[in-house]
Structure 1
Amino acid sequence: MARPLDSDPASHSYECRSCGYRYEPAEGVAKLGIVRGTPFSTLPDNFLCLVCRSPKAAFVDVGPQNRPSGFTQNLNYGLGVNRLTPGQKTILIFGGLVLAAAFLLSFYSLH
C-alpha cells in the first residue's frame, strides 16, 4: 500500500497568511540561525515572519514542499503528468516551448 503524501508532518511547509512567505524546513533560515531540517513545530513561540513580522500563529500548514499539485483523487489521471510537482511541470512546459522554437528555427537551415 502506498504511503500518503502528507506522511511526515515535520517536512511540511508553512505559509504566512498575511504576506505569503513560506517557511521551508528543508531550507531553514540562515539569517536567524535556524538550521536546515528544523520542523516548524520546534521553532520558538516568538518566531516572526521574516517579511511582515506576523507571529507564528499566522502561519498555516500547506503540506510537503515537493508534493504533486492538485486534488489527491485526480493524481492517477493525465498520463502521469498529474503526479509531477509544480517545478517539474514548469520544466516540462518551458522545455517543450524551447524544443518547439529550436525545431522552428531549424527549418531555416533547409533549402
Structure 2
Amino acid sequence: MSTSYKKWQCISCGEIYDEELGLPFEGVPAGTRFEDLPEDWICPACGSQKSDFIVLEE
C-alpha cells in the first residue's frame, strides 16, 4: 500500500510544504501531514499562518 503525500503552497509567498519531505531544519520530520502541524505553525519563509496554505492538486 503506497502512502499519498500532499503538497501545500503558501498563498502569500509561494513557499511549498511537501508532506513527504517535511521540514527537518525546522524540526518537522519527513512524512508529517499538514493537518498534523501545530495550529500555531507559520510559514518558514514569510511567517504567514497555517490557514494561508492551499493544497496543490496533482
Residues 35-50 of structure 1: pairs in structure 2 closer than 5 A: 35-50=29-44
Residue among 42, 57, 69 paired with 2:51: 57
1:15 corresponds to 2:1: no
Which residue identity is paired with 1:21? E
d(CA) in 2 for partners of 1:26, 1:61: 14
Q: What's the C-alpha RMSD, in Å, of the aligned pairs?
A: 1.0
Task: Look up the equivalent residue of 2:55 and give its one-letter code.
Answer: D
Moved over 3 A (4+): none
CA distance in 2, matches of 1:50, 1:43: 13
Normalized per residue, the structure richer in helix is 1
Secondary structure, aligned partner of 2:56: strand
Aligned partners of 1:44 and 1:31: how far apart in 2?
16
Residue 33 (structure 1) aligns with: 27
Q: Percent identity?
A: 31
The structure whose residues are more often strand, as a share, is 2
Bigger Rg over Cα: 1
**Matches of 1:31 and 1:55 in 2, distance apart?**
19
Report the number of matched residues. Answer: 55
For the residue of structure 1 that corresponds to 2:55, the secondary structure is strand
